[in-house]
Chains A and B, each alone.
Chain A
Amino acid sequence: MNALFVLCSPECFLTLSALFLLLWQAIAKPNYKSVGILVLASYLISGVLLLPFVDNQGIYWNGLYVWDKMAVLWKVFFLITGFLVTYLSLESNSLITKGRAEFYTLPLLTTAGMALLASVRDFILLFVGLEIVTVSFYILVAFQKEFPSALEAGVKYLVIGALASSFLVMGIAFVFGITGSTQFDEVARFAQNNPVSTPLVLGLIFVLVGLGFKASAVPFHVWTPDVYQGASTPITSYLAVGSKAAGFVVLLRVLNLPFYDQSFQKHWIPLIVLMALLSVILGNLAAIPQRNIKRMLGYSSISHGGFLLMGLSAHNTIGCAAVIYYFFAYLVAIFAAFLVVILLEKNQPSGISIKDFNGLYQKNGLLAWSMAFAMISLAGLPPLMGFFGKLMVFLAAWESGQHLLVIVGALCAAAGLYYYIGVVRAMFWAEPETVQRIVLSPATKVLLWILSIGSILLGFYAEPVIKLVGAVLS
């Protein structure tokens, strides 16, 4: 049973299929498109293989690896992310000229790393998983090496990422040095039985700094706008959803087990609150003057990181549930937005600014509506998913006494409306330079419909998702 279980886990299956596809395309040199479709199939198969083990519970390999409901939920989340990223990559194939097969296959490994992160219960495994994700992102970000901007983004991501990793390792080293273990339960037990000393707190802070990079929380956000703008659009969406979620799933794990103790909480809560506050303010205000859509979404992603941290700062069940729900809302909205951006980029590879959305409604109504729903959901207006995410985050934070944070957050959310609505306004109420109908493939149409309707339905009828999340956390 154990062996089967391991083989069926997404991390294992995705790695194997990635290896197979790499070899196959190196040897047989098939059509690029078929590689992409096989990658899509791998995600689907991996999801199906997950089904029999949904209800499994357990901690394996001397506490290295945990399989619980939350892990499964996050693995599913990452599988959906990977699937959509690959679909977006297939849509944007005209932009990637070299090594397209690798461009499709590498995200399999990244997703495997993310799925691994969903199950970590040990700092060493945490580091390994995070590095799998980060290193593969170094390559993916710089993939369009004929564009200087992509190379530049890659270098920036590499340097800052390496810096963040070094902080993380340092933190883990401190934790290990004091507690004598890297296993989460052991660390938690140590904190219960011993006073928390300064070096241990330093370890905690270093770990949070390293993870702050992934979550692109201020002041560790500096790379975000440049890298989002420079990377190719599918990868940007992957960074926005996958990479950020990877950071947060680790934060959820770390803050709720090894650093859960009261003596730790009194140190990390102010830190998380501070980062949330700064992220929300800077992200929303700096996004206002942006013209490039990807850069704007970069700043918006910083602000969403802030809202998510707000949920974490509540350090209660409803906060964690809010974070998970918020991520699903974010996934739906971000992928809809980036899919639209990719479709527009086909005609204009040099980059899309807000002005290029002018009169999109006249070019293609479905595109305009999908983008509008995505923007409204990101802005957090009811009845879309984004609203409930924000509402739950605010409720959780308020309940745990972070009143100032909630007030500032609500204000910034209102300010953020300005730039989201700017896009909507451009699409519906501005005259385009040329009215040229945009033709969509049937699959893309279906996907856009699903994302838009999902965003409304799961917002209006949030019960099933929230129930699911609640069941996961209990």
Chain B
Amino acid sequence: MSLFLSQSQPLSEQINTLAFVFQFLAAILVAAGMLGVAALIGQKGRKTKEKDIPYECGKDPIGPQNPRFSVKFYMVAMLFILFDIETIFFFAWAISYQDLLSQGIGALFVILFFLFLLGVGFVYEIQKKSLDWTQRG
């Protein structure tokens, strides 16, 4: 601890440093603790070949274990996330809009520009047929 705390620093600084040390310790503790506790109290199951197959009873599976999805799923999922995340920005903007109005109308243009960017992205996405299921690739 002497690495972090020195006598010359004022008290507030020391508290500051202490908080930081605690954060570090907490991070390590949480990470190590989860693994450690799991290893301690968790029961280790026996690993057998049968246990490792997807269906423990019944027929042996045929073909590859993890089913293959069309890459389209990922594409749409990614695009969805992108546009979904944008709503977060709207949220922040909407909350502070009242306050921002007092500084002028600028805040409105900012979000309109943002919408414009989204719109460009959307048009591009449609034109590139990324949402078209029948297209390949």
Contacts and interface: CB of A to CB of B under 8 A. Distances in A.
B127 A19 contact: no
Interface string A190-209: 00001101110010000000
Interface residues of A, number: 14
Contacts of B101: none
Interface in A14-41: 19, 22-23, 26-27
Return the 5 tightest CB-CB contacts between A and B, nearest first: A26-B127, A199-B20, A26-B124, A19-B120, A197-B13
Interface of A: 19, 22-23, 26-27, 174, 177-178, 194-195, 197-199, 202
B85 to A, nearest CB: 14
A172 to B, nearest CB: 15
B127 A198 contact: no
Contact of A199 (B16, B120, B127, B128): B16
A27 B124 CA distance: 8
Interface string B1-23: 00110001110010011001000
Contacts of B20: 174, 177, 198-199, 202
A2 to B, nearest CB: 11
Contact of B17 (A19, A22, A23, A197): A197
Given A23-B120, A23-B123, A174-B20, 12 more contacts: A19-B117, A22-B120, A26-B123, A27-B127, A177-B20, A194-B13, A195-B10, A197-B9, A198-B17, A199-B17, A199-B20, A202-B20
23 contacts: A19-B120, A22-B120, A23-B120, A23-B123, A23-B127, A26-B123, A26-B127, A27-B123, A27-B127, A174-B20, A177-B20, A178-B16, A195-B8, A195-B13, A197-B16, A198-B3, A198-B4, A198-B17, A198-B20, A199-B16, A199-B17, A199-B20, A202-B20
Contacts of A177: 20
B59 to A, nearest CB: 36
Interface of A is mostly: helix
A23 B20 CA distance: 48
Interface of B: 3-4, 8-10, 13, 16-17, 20, 117, 120, 123-124, 127-128
Contacts of A22: 120, 124
A458 to B, nearest CB: 40
Contact of B124 (A23, A178, A198, A199): A23
A178 B19 CA distance: 11
Nearest to A26: B127
Contacts of B8: 195
Contacts of B13: 194-195, 197
Contacts of A194: 13
A178 B4 CA distance: 15
Nearest to B8: A195
Nearest to B5: A198
Given A26-B128, A27-B127, A195 B120 contact: no
A198 B13 CA distance: 10
A415 B63 CA distance: 57
B9 A195 contact: yes
A22 B17 CA distance: 50
B3 to A, nearest CB: 8
A469 B17 CA distance: 41
A44 B101 CA distance: 38
Contacts of B16: 178, 197, 199
A291 B35 CA distance: 45
A178 B17 CA distance: 9
A114 B124 CA distance: 24
Nearest to A22: B124
A136 to B, nearest CB: 14
A198 B120 CA distance: 46
Nearest to A98: B137
Contacts of A27: 123, 127
A178 B16 CA distance: 8
Nearest to B3: A198
Nearest to B123: A23
A202 B10 CA distance: 19
A255 to B, nearest CB: 23
Contacts of A197: 9, 13, 16-17
A198 B127 CA distance: 53
Contacts of A202: 20
A202 B20 CA distance: 10
B1 to A, nearest CB: 11
A143 to B, nearest CB: 15
